[in-house]
A and B are shown apart, each in its own frame.
Chain A
Amino acid sequence: MKKIYAYLFIVAIISVSCSKWIDPDINNDPNNPTDVNEPQLLAPVEANLAYIAGGELARFNCVWMQQIAGIQSQSAENDIYTISESDVNNPWSWNLYAPGMINTKIMMEKSAEGGSPHYAGVAKILMAYHLGITTDEWGDIPYTEALSGLQNNFKPKYDPQAQIYDTIFSLLNQAIQNLSATNSVLSPGDEDIIYGGDLEKWIKTAYALKARYNLHLAKRKGTSAYTAALTASENSYTGNSDDFKVVFGTAYNNSNPIYQSEQERPGYYSASATFQAKLSATGDPRQSVYFDGTIGSNPGEPNPDAASIGAAYASAGSPVYLMSYVELKFIEAEASFATNDLIRAADAYNEGLKASLQREGVYGDGSWYNSHKETNASISLEKIMTQKWLSSFLQIETWTDWRRTGFPTLQLAAGAVTNQIPRRLPYPEEERLYNGENMPAGLSITDRVWWDVAK
């Protein structure tokens, strides 16, 4: 009997110890929180947006726009317009949609639930920005059904670009309203690495983006687009200090994407000969800011001796401009020119050039500027767009501008694999594989997006 009790005792011990030993709390991840609030979600959106717009997308677009040149391995292939569907998986899936737009969406939801219109406004501007660059790069994109993974929708349908643009304007208008609210439970502060919580500047940015995205529709909508852009621009930035930009940190893991590229893949990118030629032709003082020399690499003909990207744009703490006073002035110039207000066009051009020189710290006594100003008699669309290109170093907006206006005039790269410069990015491999039924098929990178009407 004694033995039987003993065995029973063992069994009892075993079963008790098992239930305690398998403590479900052990599977609570000690490394990651289960919930966070808007202030912890905002900075990643801003940093990620600048990292992708000023990094990988700029390296694709600005090589094609011949500001810089790809001169080695993969970058040299991009120089002659080789770009594969797998090359754009990262920008799409690992930057713009996640974490960029998913964080923004969660911010929008949390701020609506929690009564924080100021955060709602900031989130909507950021969402509009993400949609703007995503649709400009690819055309039709998912939005109304997108970002619903938590609801088990893994195959969002695509929205036409026209609808995406409607959404952008609607988000920007709502944002302006939200930001004007007097009460907000949470308001952005230091975690807003762009404006440090300055709501006025956010409102100005909403107007600046309205100006930009209205202008994009000019080929579709004609004069009304230009007028809308002009109206919006009047409520926007008044100087370089308003710029919508992310200044990267000096720590390596907070550093500028171009800097990281130069550190880890030195010799992949250099100045483009096209850009250098334009800068050299006028003795443009910005040349020494943009590059560390005057030699450029001809498109498709890698030149290892070409100058590297200058310290102002390729240092750890270099900024990435997402929207700027300079761009706004050139929007005003272009819209004024298109609506036949040549005086305003020339003035805005001159102000844009001046602001650019000042921003790059090469305005000096203004003598170079004074000798390169335009007048209502001399101003032209080509001059506006070319100067905008010269003033928008490493900004992807240059590609949109070229597609819209055809300026600056660019030659096809030697040995190009396509018969013209690309006009859209290929859809990502991940979309084809995992959302193929919704993804528009049969497009080539020289096909146009909706607003890019062939003349």
Chain B
Amino acid sequence: MVKKARPPGRRSPPTPEQLVGRARELAPVLRERAQATEALRRLPDETMRALYDAGFLRILQPKRYGGYGMGWGPNTRVARELAKVCPSTAWIIAVVGMHSTVVARLPKRCQDAVWGTSEDMLISTGSAQTTGTIRKTAEGYRVAGTWRFASGVDHAPWVMVAGRVETEDGSAHPNARVLFPKGEIEVVDTWYVEGMCGTGSKDINVPDVLVPEWRVENAMRNFGANPPGAAVNDDYLCQVPFQPYFSNALFSVIVGSAEGAYMDYLEITGVRKGAIFGNPIRELAHVQQRLAESSAEIKSAGLLYDWAVRLLHERGIARSGLSASDSVELARDRAFIAKLCVSAVTRLVRQMGAMGLGDDNPVQRHYRDQLVMASQIGANWDHHGTAFGRHAFGLAAVTPGGGVTAAAPAAKN
């Protein structure tokens, strides 16, 4: 394995508190850099370096490859802290950083290849299959075309794409995850968007590559209980069904961003004077009402998020997986968290008047970031609210394709 400079604390991994402390130390410079990061539409190289040096990309990395192999929680705490000043930077930790676990669940050969390249590792994933195709042929898997939303791809030495698999005889085949060294793919810069610009979530184009079988994994097996990687990594995150954890990650960024928007709003509004009459804005009773209501909403969102992280960690330690009731409740709460945060930040930014429109206004940036994050399917209220309601009423769940599952589990409420 190639040995790179080890971050301080390699021999004794940092505690979660130390990691959160490092995030707080980094916050002022990341806050200073947030507007430039947005304009760059990817993380600046020096930010990426700082994230590696702080050890944030090692939180979920397996111990055998120089990581800390921590359970669920320290990663979301760090991301929430970073999101207060720069949601895009936080996204690289919460969402892209989590792909360490996805790789840690692959067969050992994949893990040796990825972390053998460097122990400072970022793995970017093209999550949405657009023109991309994966074809199973006699020689192996032929992959070609484009995948969207590859956050952090400019900085990632390895990438993955995921999607449906076509077979020559039209027979069914499970969806696959395909692993590529960066040199085999092209980055297509399509990332001109209204928020979360700094994540650099560009397209991946694969120019017709024949991929050896060992770099292709059954996506269901990868996220299911005891995937191949569980044979070499004993962290619970490598053993339990992974989807509930995966779905939880981005909400650390939504909550942190709302908390950051609130702090920025407070700082600006505390000294702001009306442009026309010069009156102190903070004296207005309706401004105070808005502030208090938004702060209560954000606190509620934070408590719901803490509850979810605690539940996931407890279930992880117990290796028990989640019940159907847990799953629909967690999904409902996620969507509700997003609803609360968007509502809270919208109420604040609308109060800021035309000065709130500027690119240099951090509340405005948080607001746009919120809207972009809340457009994720995992935050979709109609989808997850309906699923919880059906469960509570004892009705069968509706599958993504519109079908209905056979049995309705017992409702909790």
- Do chains A and B interact in one complex? no
Give the B-binding residues of A (Cβ under 8 A). Answer: none
Give the A-binding residues of B (Cβ under 8 A). Answer: none
